[in-house]
């Protein structure tokens, strides 16, 4: 019975005059497209959201570690300043009794165990007393050391870079150098409190990153402390060449996934500077561990999708059996290939072309007769846009590895006539009856419309950003009006909000017009147009704007009998864009002149203003979409679409537009419209 149903359906599709190709396409679309779209969307959404969450968590850990270290350094500084400010201690220093002054601080190491050593020095950097006995640094000058250069720069407390002790035992240390000053703020000496880096390592372990993750600190020279591969008693680790360390040393904040060439693995790195101390905090964790939960979720999506696609393949198999019953002739393969909208070419192991469908001929410009049996690379050239080199790696890998490979993004196909066509798709291996690769199928398509669609989305995003200013202004003034009781102030606020909303409407209308032009949906309808009528209409529309801007609008007299064959609506839009621009960018009290002259059977419009003008260096960009001059006052709201629209409208009327401008003196726009 099931076979009878299949035969009936096959006969239904194959009967003369009752072929239903659209049914096949619709079935395929209904099965494949929604499922593929859903799977890709779910995969990308889950991947991006999970990645962002994990990176944000490491950034938060870096922020917490930075706050911790800043708090610890503040505490150290407070202790050091308190010790250096003791009255009796300062008196002994002033009298030159350095050893007695040091004995006065004999309890410091007990009270503050994080200090490992106390040393005194005179203002020149010469060591005068050391709590360690015997000491081999007394009498030596250390003005070349970082701690002295830091504290003596402004005679303020300073935490030094990491250094190795000058005397045994040779530990890695950090010094808190505090100036000792008398009551008149004269520097008497320097109190140095030495801290082992083991203390900083202990602080770094207070932040738990997760499995295989860790926190370490860097000084302003890029030396690291707390890194598990560099213990505190080893040689000082220099990380100054690492990019993220450089970023932290420059005071930058960030969190990103980086590739470690030493381990050959990716890792999440978050970094933060320690303000006022010129130190930094680094948080690291292997990416495979940090993204473990994300990867498990992605695997689940792939597993479920694979199961669904398996069902889809079974359905596709059934459809192929039905189509095979409709037509048993080999010619069906050629019809099928020629019906594909994408270009399809097949090559053998020697790269000679064995198949070339109609779409491939249409896209490339080469006919089947010209290319069949000849070397593929002599006719089909794929180039990378970035470096203009040939891109055939995806074909070579499909043949070499026996697996499909995707074409790189931003690849162009050089057509027969030399045109560069944005191209994309893939290559797949062809296997013989023994399972060996005997060639490849290359699929390519013209991606011009897709590129245009991407540009449209980008334009829409930029225009949406430009809408924020008038919308925010309207909301702000409406909020003020709601809170006011004085009628004049309410009225003024409402007027401002009204103008802001009108600006929103104007920007939205311009965006829609740009969209229509870019999609080639604006088609001129030529008819006889009276110049007097269209100019009068334009002047009346611009009059309100001129009054609001306090600009005088004048026009040359026009005979009521003059006419031209053109598109009335498009011409009005083009002239109004130029005229309103002239008014908006004119100074208060300025003048805008609208002149019309005949040139044989054609018309030349001139719009002259005495406004801010256009900087000479930017005049080449005037008609570029979204361009706005650098000298435009901030109160003039716009998206930089007016002149772009005007030029496109003039082009539709087969006219020409040009201008002359001088900054701070004014601009003259000329629009030439031919009589159709």
pLDDT of the residue at 3: 44
Query: Is the pLDDT confidence value at 16 over 50?
Result: no
The answer on pLDDT for 259 being more than 80 is yes
**Highest-scoring range by mean pLDDT, 86-95, 500-509, 610-619:** 86-95
pLDDT of residue 421: 85
The model's pLDDT over 349-370, given as tens digits with 9 standing for 90+, comes to 999 999 898 888 888 899 989 9
Give the 3-state DSSP-derived string for 542-611, with helices as H, strands as E and coil as C: HHHHHHHCCCEEEECCCCCCCEEEECHHHHHHHHHHHHHHHHHCCCCCCEEEEEEEEECCEEEEEEEECC
Rounded average pLDDT over 476-488:
61
Categorize the per-residue pLDDT at 2 as very low, low, confident or very high, splitting at 50, 70 and 90.
very low
At 348, the pLDDT band (50, 70, 90 cuts) reads: very high
Rounded to whole angstroms, the maximal C-alpha distance in the chain is 119
**Residue-wise pLDDT tens digits, 394-439:** 898 889 888 999 888 888 888 888 888 888 888 899 998 888 999 9
Catalogue all structural domains in the chain, each as residue range(s) with its CATH number: 85-199 (3.30.450.20), 341-443 (3.30.450.20), 447-521 (1.10.287.130), 524-676 (3.30.565.10)
CB 676 within 8 A of CB 541: no
Q: Percent of the chain at pLDDT above 70?
A: 80
Q: Quick one: CA torsion of 508, 514, 516, 522, rounded to 10 degrees?
A: 120
3-state class (DSSP) for residue 646: helix
Q: Is the pLDDT of residue 269 over 90?
A: yes
Cα-Cα-Cα-Cα dihedral sign, residues 394, 395, 399, 402: positive
Query: What six digits make up the tokens of 123?
Result: 């203002």
Bridge partners of 606, per DSSP, are 595, 670
To 5 degrees, how large is the angle CA 669–CA 670–CA 673?
140
Residues 152-198 have pLDDT tens digits of: 999 999 999 998 876 666 788 999 999 999 988 999 999 999 999 89
pLDDT band at residue 478 under the 50/70/90 scheme: low
Q: Which residue, 207, 204, 206, 208, is CA-closest to 216? A: 204
Q: Which residues contact 117 (CB under 8 A, 6 or more apart)?
A: 109, 130, 131, 132, 173, 192, 193, 194
Residue-wise pLDDT for 321-347, tens only, equals 655 555 554 567 667 777 787 889 999
Does pTM surpass 0.85? Answer: no
Question: What local confidence, expressed as pLDDT, does residue 473 receive?
Answer: 54
Give the mean model confidence (pLDDT) for residues 198-216. 89
Helix (H, G, I), strand (E, B) or coil at 669: strand
Exposure of 100 by Cβ count < 10 A (0-12 exposed, 13-18 middle, 19+ buried)? middle
Q: State yes or no: pLDDT of 18 exceeds 50.
A: no
Higher local confidence (pLDDT), 22 or 218: 218
DSSP for 503-526 reads: HHHHHHHHHHHHHHHHTT------
Q: What is the pLDDT of residue 604?
A: 92
What's the average model confidence in pLDDT over 210-228?
Answer: 91
Mean pLDDT, the chain, rounded, equals 82
> How are beta strands 420-431 and 405-406 bridged, if at all?
antiparallel
Lowest mean pLDDT among 198-202, 231-235, 429-433: 231-235
Q: Can you give the pLDDT at residue 279?
A: 94
Q: DSSP letter at 403?
A: S
Determine the pLDDT at residue 1.
46
Q: List, for residues 279-326, the tens digit of each pLDDT value.
A: 999 999 998 888 888 888 888 888 887 887 777 767 666 765 655 555
d(CA 646, CA 607): 13
8-17, 72-81, 450-459, 566-575: lowest mean pLDDT where?
8-17
């Amino acid at each position: 019975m099931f076979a009878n149903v299949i035969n009936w359906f096959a006969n239904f599709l194959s009967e003369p005059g009752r072929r239903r190709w659209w049914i096949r396409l619709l079935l395929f679309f209904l099965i494949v497209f929604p499922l593929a779209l859903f799977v890709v969307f779910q995969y990308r959404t889950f991947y991006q959201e999970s990645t962002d969450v994990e990176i944000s968590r490491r950034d938060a850990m870096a922020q917490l570690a930075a706050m911790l270290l800043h708090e610890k350094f503040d505490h150290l500084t407070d202790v050091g300043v308190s010790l250096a400010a003791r009255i009796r201690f300062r008196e002994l220093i002033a009298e030159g009794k350095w050893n007695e002054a040091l004995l006065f601080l004999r309890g410091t190491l007990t009270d503050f165990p994080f200090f490992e050593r106390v040393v005194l020095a005179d203002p020149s950097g010469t060591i005068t007393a050391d709590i360690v006995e015997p000491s081999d640094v007394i009498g030596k000058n250390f003005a070349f050391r970082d701690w002295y250069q830091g504290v003596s720069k402004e005679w303020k407390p300073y935490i030094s870079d990491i250094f190795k002790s000058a005397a045994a035992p040779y530990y890695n240390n950090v010094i808190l150098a505090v100036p000792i000053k008398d009551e008149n703020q004269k520097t008497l000496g320097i109190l140095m409190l030495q801290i082992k880096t083991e203390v900083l390592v202990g602080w770094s372990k207070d932040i738990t990153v997760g499995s295989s993750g860790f926190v370490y600190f860097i000084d302003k020279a890029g030396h690291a402390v707390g890194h598990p591969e560099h213990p505190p008693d080893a040689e000082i680790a220099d990380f100054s060449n690492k990019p993220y360390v450089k970023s932290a040393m420059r005071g930058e904040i960030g969190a990103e996934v980086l590739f470690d060439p030493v381990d050959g693995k990716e890792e999440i790195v978050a970094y933060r500077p320690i303000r006022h101390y010129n130190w930094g905090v680094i948080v690291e964790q292997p990416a495979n561990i940090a993204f473990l939960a994300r990867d498990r979720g992605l695997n689940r999506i792939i597993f479920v999708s694979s199961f669904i696609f398996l069902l889809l393949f079974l359905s596709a198999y059934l459809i192929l059996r039905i189509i095979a019953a409709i037509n048993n002739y080999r010619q069906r393969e050629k019809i099928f290939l020629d019906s594909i909208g994408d270009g399809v070419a097949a090559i053998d192991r020697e790269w000679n072309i064995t198949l070339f469908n109609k779409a491939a001929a249409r896209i490339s410009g080469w006919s089947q007769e010209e290319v069949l049996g000849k070397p593929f690379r002599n006719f089909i050239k794929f180039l990378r846009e970035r470096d203009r080199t040939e891109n055939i790696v995806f074909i070579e890998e499909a043949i070499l590895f026996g697996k499909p490979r995707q074409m790189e993004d931003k690849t162009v196909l050089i057509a027969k006539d030399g045109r560069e066509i944005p191209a994309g798709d893939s290559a797949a291996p062809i296997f013989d009856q023994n399972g060996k690769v005997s060639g490849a199928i290359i699929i390519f398509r013209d991606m011009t419309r897709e590129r245009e669609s991407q540009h449209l989305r980008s334009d829409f995003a930029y225009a949406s950003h430009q809408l924020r200013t008038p919308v925010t202004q309207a909301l702000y003034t409406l909020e003020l009006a709601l809170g006011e009781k004085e009628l004049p102030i309410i009225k003024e606020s409402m007027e401002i909000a009204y103008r802001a909303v009108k600006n929103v409407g104007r920007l939205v209308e311009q965006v829609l017009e740009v969209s229509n032009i870019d999609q080639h949906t604006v088609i001129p309808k030529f008819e006889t147009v009276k110049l007097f009528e269209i100019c009068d209409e334009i002047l009346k529309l611009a009059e309100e704007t001129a009054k609001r801007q306090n600009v005088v609008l004048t026009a040359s007299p026009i005979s009521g009998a003059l006419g031209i064959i053109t598109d009335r609506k498009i011409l009005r839009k083009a002239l109004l864009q130029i005229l309103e621009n002239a008014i908006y960018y004119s100074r208060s009290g300025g003048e805008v002149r609208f002149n019309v002259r005949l040139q044989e059977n054609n018309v030349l419009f001139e719009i002259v203003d005495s406004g801010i003008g256009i900087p000479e260096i930017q005049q080449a960009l005037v008609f570029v979409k979204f361009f706005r001059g650098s000298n435009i006052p901030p109160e003039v709201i716009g998206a930089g679409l007016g002149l772009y629209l005007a030029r496109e409208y003039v082009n539709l009327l087969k006219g020409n537009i040009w201008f002359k401008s001088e900054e701070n003196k004014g601009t003259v726009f000329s629009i030439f419209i031919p009589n159709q």
